[in-house]
Chains A and B, each alone.
Chain A
Amino acid sequence: MLREISFCSAACILALAAVLLLLAPGAWAAPERLEFNRDIRPILSDKCFACHGFDAKTREAGLRLDTVDGAYALKDGVQAIKPRDLDHSELWHRITSTDPDDVMPPPENNKSLTDEEKKLLKRWIEGGAEYQPHWAFVLPRKPTPPADVPPASVRNPLDRFILSRLAKKGVEPSPEAGRATLIRRVTLDLTGLPPTPAEVSNFLRDDEPGSYERLVDRLMSTRDYAERRAQDWLDLARYADTRGFADDKMREIWPYRDWVVRSLHHNMPFDQFTVEQLAGDMLPGATDEQRLATGFHRNAPQARGMTYPVEEYRLKGVTDRVNTTGKVWFGLTMECAECHDHKFDPISQRDYYSLFAIFNNVEHSGKGHGQGGPTMTYRTPPADPDPKLDDERVRLEAELVAARKRLPRPKPLGAEGLLGKWDAPHLVANAGEFCVTGNLTITATIRTKQAVANIMSKNDWRGKQRSYVFGIGGEGEKEAAPGHLSFWVSSRTETFAGVTVYGSKQINDGQAHEVAVVFEAGKSVRLFVDGIEDTAVRVIGKVPKTIAVSARRLAIGAGYRASTEPNAYHFDGSLTNVRLYDRALDFGEESEEIRQLQAALRKLDQEQLLGSQEVPAVPVMKERSEPRETFIHLRGSFLSRGDKVSPGAPEVLLPAGEVPPKNRLEFARWLVDGKNPLVARVVVNRFWQSYFGHGLVRTPDDFGSQGAPPTHPDLLDWLAAEFVDSGWDMKHINRLIVTSATYRQSARITSIHREGDPKNLQLARMPRVRLPAEQIRDQALAISGLLKPSVGGPSVFPPQPERYWEDRDLPGKWKASRGDDRYRKSFYTYWRRMALHPTMELLDAPARAVCVAKRTTANLPTQALVTLNAPVFVKSAEHLARRILTEAQDDEARLGLAFRLTLGRQPEVAERTKFQDFIDAQIIRYEQSATPELSVWQSLATVLLNLDETITRP
């Protein structure tokens, strides 16, 4: 019986489908005038250009079909194409020949023409065989948005292009999606996170005109928006925390990642964004931020210094820069021209190597096992001032003072172990005095504005008389932090064998501070400021078991610089209460109350520190003073040098008579001078792709003749021109896209769509898009309340399966983060090129060993296992369950909350019934469990987190 019913309904639908099949295509396939770029070039390019194209070396019979001159040329009385004369067009005879020796393309090439293609070529020749220059190499003009569309359906000019095309095809656009869908769609797209139930209900209540636009503006002003856009950019920038190749070591390039977020947050214009990343180091008076931006091309994979042949691997780095630049700004497959002239596009091997010459002047080879190439010491900007944190600090500090006062009497430092006490700079007469060799404590009260000054020294490293020195700014050494406490101690005088410690706090603010260093031999060094331990100190080296005896006399308020006299690092300001002890004093023995207050302050410190820290060796670009000579590498081999080439740009992109750029800076500026036909198109196309799943050009990294022609060329050109006109305003273009009526359409697929335009080229509906890897995880964390929203800083290590690296023999160890760092956005997960975190890898995030312009998205059982069983999703389900149980009191309310949190909507009646049945069944199942209610709701949360509706952008 059942079988019959389903057969019957299938049959009815089959019949219906047959009718639709007959009707639908006519509506979509309205005949249009032939256009060379859209209809003919793709055929010629794919089937003919490899032998009759731009590459002279492989050109057969001297015939080229990629130019009008070549195609029309009369040779030995034969013409490949004679316009309007099929009989005298040799091409036509060859492609229709049945003789295997004559027919083109030759059968052995496996590239036969379809009948449809032959028909098109016939129509084209008969119609005059008109050529057009390849569209992408012609500067876009700004077309007028079509006027022949119903104004009511138009939200902004973008819609006119879409609607006009749909109208010609006789197809209606889809109606606007429901408001609950809209807010979920736009919030996920713009911020990578789902809207909260409160945000949804506010939006549903706001029926004032412009409510959607206000929502968009709010979302675009968040850091989340910048992080989400940065995620796409970092795929292009092949940003990762490791260098690539087998040893795949870490390098601290994350400040570059944060630079991208800051720049996008502040909506840096794209021309500036380009120039700073490609050549920020070469800008006159380059700031630290501008130099940091050049980390972009230091993301090129770098091999170990001893990987032989070193030169080959250095060149691979340069090649990667050229190829990446080609993809990101030109949308061209430059790499094809590494070994020979491009087969399909007018890019010669010489063009390739002139671009190579632009990028050939930055060192980029490993040094032994370590990182090579230029680096900078970078201090991250302080976190955005959070007044709440400041208020909290004031309150805690006041309480601490009060608590100290409440102590019976302040614990005196006492005289036990006290070796000396001074109240001003001083030089001890005898070098044999104060030779502490074990535990040691130095305290002082200081007030100064100096960045570098010694408090106490028995140390002269240049004079090979090392011992101990306590002060500010580490005697001005490169790795020291000016204005911060510093302490060095060595167990040998000749060479350094010990530890250097730098405080995390600025201490030279002209205020009085109680400072101390406590050295416990072989164990620890601790710094204290105003009675509070600095827990964020930077410790380099190993704490020695002894301290060397130096021949220098103990100097208070000064130091030694290759001299027997204290000749340097003099302390200006007030230096009092300087004490030296030969034991490790314990400042911690105070009341429990004080300990707690101090812990709270430390935590606050760390929160604020997240935004400000010094990173010693961030890879950046720095131009060699003497440019390298660049040669063409024959067949791409580093051993076969051809002609020498000068820096430049691909000829096809240089307007006639224009002087080619000579270095990176000129090149970067030339890219965004507004006269390049590709750059703006390529960029706006990727913006489009990030909302619609596909670009208007569906091959975002190939705008050449083998790429897909734009589905809406006028729209693409309008957006590109608008982008340049707006001053390269990225937020403006993104905003235009998400506020368009096209974007707001329903995603429902009807039979009309299905049969007429299954690939949705005409955008008569909004496509649904599965969330990227990062967003699938982040959403689960956000819904359950686990997500920690802090921005920036070193990458974090959310737990990964045991022995994941070890089993593959990868160097290093994954030390899982503790506390909040386990639940930060996936964007901040440590990105290892040779073994990406499996949650990311399994959900299709790229390892970023090379530039990726578009991710692939699969739909696999191994992915289902991730969201069902991976610990982070299990934990999220558990937390979501707890949250539901705490925040709502009965099944009905809880179910409503669960749906609103996960899906941004209320359950429908049928869903309520079905889920209630599920709850009832699970209650019986978990009756015996220790936490029956939690188990039931965790099970339900698992269901919700795994729905197609949940992991798909609606």
Chain B
Amino acid sequence: MIHDSPSSADLTRRAFLGRSAGGLGSVALASLLNEKLMAGQGSLPGLHHAAKAKRVIFLFMAGGPSHIDLFDPKPKLNELDGKAIPQALLKDHQQFALIRGKPKLKGSPYSFRPHGQSGTVISELLPHLSKVADELTVIRSMHTDTNVHDPGVNFMNCGTLLGDRPTLGSWMSYGLGSDNEDLPAYTVLTSGVSDGQPLLQSFWGNGFLDSRHAGVPFRNSGAPVLHLENPKNVTNKDRRRELDLIRWMNNRQHDTLGDPEIANRIASYELAFRMQASVPQLADLNKESEKTMELYGADRVKPSFARNCLMARRLVERGVRFVQLYDRGWDSHTDIDREHKRQCSAGDRPVAALIADLKQRGLLEDTLVVWGGEFGRTPVAQVMGKTWGRDHHPHGFTMWMAGGGMKPGLTYGATDEFGYHATENKVHVHDLHATILHQLGIDHKRLTFRSQGRDFRLTDVHGKVVTEVLV
């Protein structure tokens, strides 16, 4: 009934067997250091089925990008531009988040055309992405449960509005463990324009899972991981000397008391020391070629979404399980033209670059890239003086995925002629979660954690795998 950390019994035995007179012997320590301490070994004894993807890059467009202006053209909407919204669309749900009164339909001012061999339709706002259109699996029939930002982001991450449960990345870390012992299994990178929507701890929270499964947000200023740098006047050599003495003392303690947790402590200090080297190496882009930097349009030092896209590639290259990028600034209520253009000009090129780069390195086939926000935007306008924008819209919106065993070049599902409700092949957020886990070799119904007497899962009691979008 009680979930102890899966490795503790193991560690006990190992620590016990490997102990020699001088403390925790080299055999034991070596095996401990191989022990997947950072994320644990993974709770699953084996995959439920063959995995198509080993890792996930989730490009979170925080604020909610407009499906109507980017991926889901609606000629009818353009035709009826300026007309009142049909009441029939509104009858069975709550009102808009901010729009009040009688809003008017608003067609997209941007042109769309099919791209690549697949003919995937993409807006003129995304010229670079259009060039990799054949890699994308576009889902036009997403829907979610709320039109409020932070509950919406929580829902997209952990399947509940309150955000008190583990996030997707935590579930992955818990289920699969890590492929790289020197880096956190679940890393969060942030960029974009501040639009008053804060990034909350719950967005990368571990809920009731052990805190080793929490996402580690990389910082944009100073060292990427908190407290990574030695205090001034302390060199690595000094630190090594200190750590040797700490280890010697901890060994003695272990000898006297036989507590396996002490062996864990020794290992965690050794890993901390290694992280002090591995993380700066990771964040140092000096070895990236000029060509790569140009491809992404990123600066080697200056923080940006583009730089984060390149970091995402470097992270998955090193076996990090789940990388989530928050790109903020999509919440275009009253000036969508300016704001969406700004977001696209900063984000279009690096996203296309990421896909191309992953592909040329052979990583795309087992890396699942997911793009989308917490919801879409309304087909009606929110007018403010001379400019206009769109409000939050949860009933139908677009997300896309690439790589990791998704059917490339497919456009799946549809919204009604207004882009209002998802109507055809609807995909709920729980279904998206089920599908992502499926690609990782996990049956979403069988990745569970017993908390308070109940087996919890990411998809709660919902979710079905959208097999039609899979290869």
Binds B, one of A370-378, A418-426, A682-690, A747-755: A747-755
- Pick the contact of B97: A308, A811, A868, A946 (CB < 8 A): A308
Flag whether A770 is at the interface (Cβ < 8 A): yes
Neighbour of A914 across the interface among B210, B227, B245, B250, CB < 8 A = B245
Is B453 a contact of A333 with CB atoms below 8 Å?
yes
User: Could you jot down 17 A-B contacts, CB within 8 Å?
Assistant: A9-B21, A17-B17, A308-B97, A333-B452, A699-B452, A706-B1, A808-B190, A856-B211, A859-B37, A860-B268, A861-B274, A863-B268, A864-B269, A868-B230, A939-B234, A948-B253, A952-B261
| Stretch from B78-86, B199-207, B353-361, B393-401 forming part of the interface with A | B199-207
- Interface flag for B47 (CB, 8 Å): no
Residues of B within 8 A of A (CB): 1-2, 4, 8-9, 12-13, 16-21, 25-27, 37-38, 94-95, 97, 147-150, 162-164, 184, 190, 194-202, 208-212, 216-217, 219-222, 225-231, 233-234, 237-239, 241-242, 245-246, 248-250, 252-253, 256-262, 264-266, 268-269, 271-272, 274-276, 328, 445-446, 452-454
Bound Cα distance A807, B259 (Å): 40
A890 in the interface, Cβ–Cβ < 8 Å?
Answer: no
Q: Which residues of A contact B (CB under 8 A)?
A: 2, 5-7, 9-10, 13-14, 17, 42, 110, 245-248, 301, 307-309, 316, 333, 336, 343-344, 698-699, 701-702, 704-708, 747-751, 754, 758-759, 768, 770, 801-803, 807-811, 833-836, 838, 841-842, 844, 847, 849-850, 856, 858-866, 868-870, 874, 910-911, 914-915, 918, 921-922, 925, 929, 935, 939, 942-943, 946-949, 952
| Nearest CB in chain B to that of A867: its residue | B227
In the complex, the 9 A-B pairs of residues with the closest C-beta atoms, listed nearest first: A706-B453, A864-B272, A861-B272, A749-B258, A246-B150, A861-B271, A808-B199, A869-B227, A810-B198
Total contacts A-B at CB 8 Å: 242
Contact, CB under 8 Å: A925 / B211:
no
Contact among B25, B225, B227, B445 for A868, CB-based, below 8 A: B227
From residue B451, how far is it (CB to closest CB) to chain A in Å? 9
The distance from the CB of A384 to the nearest CB of chain B, in whole angstroms, is 36
With A308-B148, A809-B197, A914-B248 in contact, is A838–B37 under 8 Å at CB?
Answer: no
**Residue in B202, B242, B264, B453 whose Cβ sees the most chain A Cβ within 10 Å:** B453
B328 to chain A, nearest CB (A): 7
B250 touches A13 (CB 8 A): no
How far apart sit A946 and B246, CA to CA, in the bound complex (Å)? 7
> A849-B162, A864-B272, A865-B226 provided; 11 other pairs, C-beta below 8 A?
A13-B19, A308-B147, A698-B2, A706-B452, A758-B9, A808-B199, A811-B196, A838-B226, A842-B226, A869-B229, A914-B248
Compute how far the CA of A911 lies from the CA of B260 in the bound complex, rounded to whole angstroms: 22
CB–CB B453/A704 < 8 A: yes
How far does the alpha carbon of A925 sit from the alpha carbon of B240 in the complex, in Å? 13
Q: Which residues of B contact A870 (CB under 8 A)?
A: 226-227
Q: Shortest beta-carbon distance, A949 to chain B, in Å?
A: 5
The answer to whether B242 and A943 have CB atoms under 8 Å apart is: yes
Is A947's CB under 8 angstroms from B250's CB?
yes
Beyond A759-B4, A865-B228, A943-B246, whether A948 also contacts B265 by CB under 8 A is yes
Tell which of A861, A865, A929, A952 has the most Cβ of chain B within 10 Å.
A861
A309–B148 alpha-carbon span in the complex (Å):
9
Taking a contact as CB atoms under 8 Å apart, the answer to whether B27 and A6 are in contact is yes
Residues of B within 8 A of A2 (CB): 26
List the B side residues contacting A859 at CB < 8 Å.
37, 261, 264-265, 268
Which B residues are CB-close (under 8 A) to A946? 242, 246, 269
Are A707 and B453 CB-contacts (below 8 A) given A10-B20, A862-B225? yes
Q: How far is the CA of A860 from the CA of B242 in the complex (A)?
A: 18
The residue in chain B whose Cβ has the minimal distance to the Cβ of A343 is B454
Contact among A707, A849, A874, A925 for B202, CB-based, below 8 A: A849
Judge whether B452 and A943 touch: CB under 8 Å.
no
Which residue of chain B has the shortest Cβ distance to A810 in the bound complex? B198
State the CA gap A864–B162 with chains docked (Å): 31
In the complex, which residue of chain A has the Cβ closest to the Cβ of B149?
Answer: A246
Interface centre among A810, A847, A943, by most chain B C-beta atoms within 10 angstroms, is A943
A708 touches B253 (CB 8 A): no
Residue of A nearest to B2 (CB): A698
Closest A-chain residue to B95, C-beta based?
A308
**Are A835 and B246 in touch, CB under 8 angstroms?**
no
Roughly how many angstroms separate A759 CA and B259 CA in the complex, as a whole number?
12
A residues less than 8 Å from B212 (CB atoms): 858, 860
Q: Give chain B nearest CB distance to A940 CB in angstroms.
A: 8
In the complex where A308-B94, A809-B328, A939-B242 touch, is A802 in contact with B221 (Cβ < 8 A)? Answer: yes
Contact A861 B268 (CB under 8 A): yes
In the bound complex, residues from chain B placing their C-beta under 8 Å from that of A707 are 1, 452-453
Q: In the complex, what residues of B have CB within 8 A of residue A13's CB?
A: 16-17, 19
CA distance A336 to B451 in the complex (A): 12
Q: CA separation between A543 and B39, bound complex, in Å?
A: 56
**Do A6 and B26 touch (CB < 8 A)?**
yes
Q: What separation, in Å, do the CA atoms of A808 and B217 have in the docked complex?
A: 10
